A and B are shown apart, each in its own frame.
Chain A
Amino acid sequence: MAEEKQKIKMAVYWGAACGGCCVSVLDVHEALFDVVAAADLVFWPIALDTKYQDVEEMPDGHIDLTLFNGAVRNSENEHMAKLLRQKSKILVAYGSCSHLGGIPGLANFSTKEEIFQRVYFDSESTTNPGKVLPQIEYQVAEGILELPEFYNDVRHLANVVDVDYFMPGCPPQTARLVEVFMAIVSGAELPPPGSVIGAGDKAQCDECTRKKSENKGIKKFYRPWEVVDDGETCFLEQGLLCMGPTTRTGCDFRCIEGNAPCRGCYGPTPDAIDPGAKMMSAIASVIDEKEPAAIDKILEDLVDPAGYFYRYSLPSSYIRRKMS
């Protein structure tokens, strides 16, 4: 007699996020029926009506698998990260923001004060003569209204709680999610905690379909509008910056298929402790000049090194915020 397999309880939650990771889960499309056959979705604000109170009332470890996407950038995100750690058996940092800090991590180039100044005072369409700013606690006639505290530093999930697995990508490629999910529900042996899953260990270049030669000397970094990509040659060989050399596979080369160079959202290959430094090393090595002045001239066109090499990973790098 066939034994009915118990459904796992699954949650998907977003911190400082854009919703793209939640959409990547919806993008399982027809496999949704396989997912719901194997899992009870118990908390997923974009799609379900479960409220915070309901999660607080769950016993510890009640949720078998939580996919936490989004960075931690305010007290609400931090509270929910800790709450979900408590209530979950397996906690996955799902997507670039929770894995490495993501695009919201770029806010670490500025301070909280600089950002208020821009948004609430200097923005050209904002009229705010009273210099009003949102408050963590505000007294209105009827009572007190609360807002979460915004932190100066954007954090990736592992900075706040112990994370069992990391699934890279902005968003993770849905096919990888389905593979990981099926492995978990089928009871397959999982890699050791702390592992990156749903991604390869090799660099994109290893399997990239673009034509490569040994001639990787860069004489000039072209801004994308200065040249027309020929559609088949390695971007770097055309002088167009591409993060392929130190970015993990797993995304099915979706940007390359779109004729765009890689921007590194799948995160660094396993040998990189700092997510952008290996890329700087690789790119600089192939600058085709030997004189300091000539090297500097070529580097003049690389207008935003930190923004290129740490686009998705500033909060998880060695210099994780700009020194003021």
Chain B
Amino acid sequence: MEYNPKIMAFLCKWCSYTGADLAGTSRMEYKPNVHAIRVMCSGRIEPTFILKAFHEGADGVLIFGCHPGDCHYQEGNYKCLRRYHLLKKYIRQMGIEPERIKLEWISASEGKQYAELVNSFTQTITELGPCHVKEKMAILT
């Protein structure tokens, strides 16, 4: 069966989800591998979500937030940024390529940038191959 990457994306309501919406309403074409989940703020995103995504079969996870300084709740995106850096360190230690998660800032007007980021990340995840966390964790050896 051909490998079709499964990518989870978490988007904050105020900037990035709106930006993604713009990509849609503007009929921009981009790869369909992303499953989007909207949260109120990127500061709501915690490592548990990303780890659960891998555990359930994701090959890559995208995190989108408002640009630094523009967070609707002031500092939420900074919290997200710090967690993202620690999480990369942790998953590298666990033998998962840190490139499988990516944090990007997208404003409400950046529909084009959203589409481009989705395409390039899908390409990265295609090249990295399937993640295998789900299969590996499913069987006790």
Q: Which residues of B contact A (CB under 8 A)?
A: 46-48, 51-52, 54-55, 68, 78-79, 81-83, 85-87, 89-91, 93-96, 132-133, 136-137, 140-141
Contact = CB atoms under 8 A, between A and B. Distances in A.
Contact of A323 (B81, B86, B87, B96): B96
Interface string A271-300: 011100110110111010110100110010
Given A290-B81, A319-B94, A323-B94, A274 B48 contact: yes
Contacts of B141: 151-153
Given A302-B86, A317-B51, 16 more contacts: A273-B48, A274-B47, A277-B46, A277-B51, A281-B48, A283-B86, A284-B47, A287-B86, A302-B89, A305-B89, A306-B94, A319-B94, A319-B137, A320-B137, A323-B94, A323-B133
Closest 9 pairs (CB-CB, A-B):
A323-B95, A152-B141, A318-B51, A277-B47, A277-B48, A284-B86, A284-B83, A281-B46, A284-B82
Interface of A: 151-153, 155, 159, 272-274, 277-278, 280-281, 283-285, 287, 289-290, 292, 295-296, 299, 302, 304-306, 309, 317-324
Secondary structure call for the B interface: helix
Secondary structure call for the A interface: mixed
A295 B90 CA distance: 14
Contact of A299 (B47, B85, B133): B85
Contacts of A317: 51
Contacts of B136: 321, 323
A282 to B, nearest CB: 9
B82 A295 contact: yes
